Structure 1
Amino acid sequence: MDQGNTAFILIAAALVLLMTPGLAFFYGGLVKAKSVISMMMMSFGALGLIGVLWVVYGYAIAFPGESGTVFPWAIDGGAIGLTNALELGEGASYPELAFIAFQATFAIITVALVSGAIADRAKFGAWMVFAGVWATVVYFPVASWVFNFGLADDGSFEYGGWITHGLQDVFGVGVIDFAGGTAVHINAGAAALALALVLGKRVGFQKGVHVPHNPPFVLLGAGLLWFGWFGFNAGSELAADNTAALAFVNTIAAPAAALLSWLLVEKIKDGKPTSVGAASGAVAGLVAITPACGSLDPIWAIVLGLITGAACALAIELKFKLGFDDSLDVVGIHLVGGLIGTLYLGFFARGTGLFMGGDASQLIVQAIAAFAVLIYSFVLAFVIGFAIEKTMGFRVKNEDEIAGIDTIVHGEAGYVLEDAKA
């Protein structure tokens, strides 16, 4: 066993787990002061629920070994409870349990991302039901499509999911998704769009009405996300090597460039660059570089960041033009950013991109993967959300939304003044 690689993976897993509390701060600062507890609790609720489901059966679905197909439901009974992962394979460079822990954090953050689309108006219990069902029928199978590489006894990869491995048999090149542009960001963004449509618009929804109540929280959350994202991207190499270092550098370059381009768009459009814009631009760049961090030269990572920051700054305005209320711009940042990063590889991936010595094959497989995940996630998220809305109800009453749902749903307030308690 390579103790260095084992430590690297475990540290990366801890960094990615920190991203979910970071997301709670990022999302919490963007909502109304009377909804901040509700918003942050949806992230922490996902952390608890998906952490348990992953150990009980999620890993067995996402990584079923050679039985993995488009719908990888054939579970070896020994995999439940992670029984098969307790012994170290001969020649493996790290324990399978380290990989299980790392992938658990991906499942948690992906589900938590979806919650931003339904801020200020969702019931916590309904959200938890959605989170569990969506993770089971959408995230776990999609993770298998993208990440299901079995480990041989010597630690090498033996087989993969249909997205990253199966398309290679048809087109001669496999889909590049280094850390989850499809499985995480397009997946979550598509589900967010579906839930925004199911729950409908917030009371009084129009441009300029709902403003962030705590920009310092947003900046703190963005900082924690960026810090954790080094584990997300570099850790996906599963080894402390040159490719991990490349992913690390690109995780600096792309979001930094995206931050600048978002602020430039704000300055041109509105006359003032904002702190929320800086945080949102950095996150958009992090989203876009996620699938591409191991396959781009740093200069092309900067170009990707510049494109993504500007594009996402404009994309968040679509909800006002198209009439859907994606509260915290999960669609504009994660779906759009994920699509840009995934498709960009078709042009600029080292050695296989259209402009980097390859042909159109890389772009074709990237598009197939992106839109297959988008459609699958959107349709099932809409069905699940619609069923919950028509049975137990997903949305709080309008009067509760107006008053602020923290005390109604959780019996707590985010900010309690001493004199108000007397």
Structure 2
Amino acid sequence: MAGLADVASRGEDTFPKILLRNARDFGTRTAFREKDFGIWQSWTWANVLDEIRSLSLGMKELGLTKGDKVAIVGSNRPRLYWSMVAAQAVGAVPVPVYADSVAEEMAFVLGHAEVRFAVVQDQEQVDKLQSMTDEVPSLTEIIYDEPRGLRDYDHSHLHHFESVQERGRAVLSADAGAADAWVAGFSDATGPDIAVMLYTSGTTGRPKGVMLSFDNLVISGRNGNIFDNLDETEEVLAYLPMAWIGDHVFSLAQAFTAAYCVNCPESMDTIDVDRLEIAPTYFFAPPRVFENMLTSILVRMEDAGTTKKKMFDVFMGVAKRVGERILNGEQVSLKDRALYGLGELLVYGPLKNRMGLTRLKVGYTAGEAIGPEIFQFYRSLGLNLK
């Protein structure tokens, strides 16, 4: 594409500009995966550029303009992440909303943000939005991802995701300069421009909105990547609420700035299996996730045979004594290192594989207190949990 390299490298970065650079530098690397009906589907950075560009142009054809607000409602899906960047490329501002919010809570957020467009996951979210037309008169167009159950709805202001992309591709086919014009449309955007509006969950009162600039997200994402030595080879699992700032940083800001792969599980019910299949290298989870994994391990060991249980107890004793010291690079006797190495072969390695953490480079937990014994357990296995 003419001008791609020039636009991607100049000035302060925004996500559309970073997308161009990633498509150029990492075009064949996998950027997103989504599990659907038990099968993982993949998109490279070059694919993602095509998906976002066609969606962005299609949304513009529907009337999306600079300064408009676009609600994003649903579970973690590549198309919903792409919708944020597609909106930003037009100069609009995405507003991720907690998908499990009741209609009243969601109506307040959408009305407060003066949302004009919404990109949602499925029929449930469409029904919820259509029930609040009186409370949110600014909302005019709804785009949905999953068409099941929506065939007989009035589609005058309701659009399937793929049909919007078809509009965008029609623009690209009809005008040879449309792709460059799309790039030119966001070439003047800068770091201080508003990138996203994020609202609190509203558990203790009305949700409160915060406007974050591209600088807030891009600089933070880059600093996080540098601190933990994250690059394009990383794999993350996107399963936390899209409206939460943490997911926005892990699954968008850091993902785009490092060009690593974001994996969207099929559902929360399959998260353990999906984590095992992906084996993320960078992982965040609240303490209850780590607590549940540890509880599951201890319960299973109670039902294990005598030999396995004895081996587990012996080598976990070794890990508790020297595992964290080895992880921290401290001095440990040759005998303990040898015992720990044997434990890695017989116990620690299989345990990490069963949890889907075999390749973990760094993990984080936050949001609530975590017991020191739980924290020590994972670090003693050689997992860099912070």
TM-score in same-fold range (> 0.5): no
Return the TM-score normalized by structure 1.
Answer: 0.24
More helix by percentage = 1
Return the TM-score normalized by structure 2.
Answer: 0.26
Q: Which has the larger radius of gyration?
A: 2
Asked which structure has the greater RCO (Cα within 8 Å, sep 6+), the reply is 1
More strand by percentage = 2
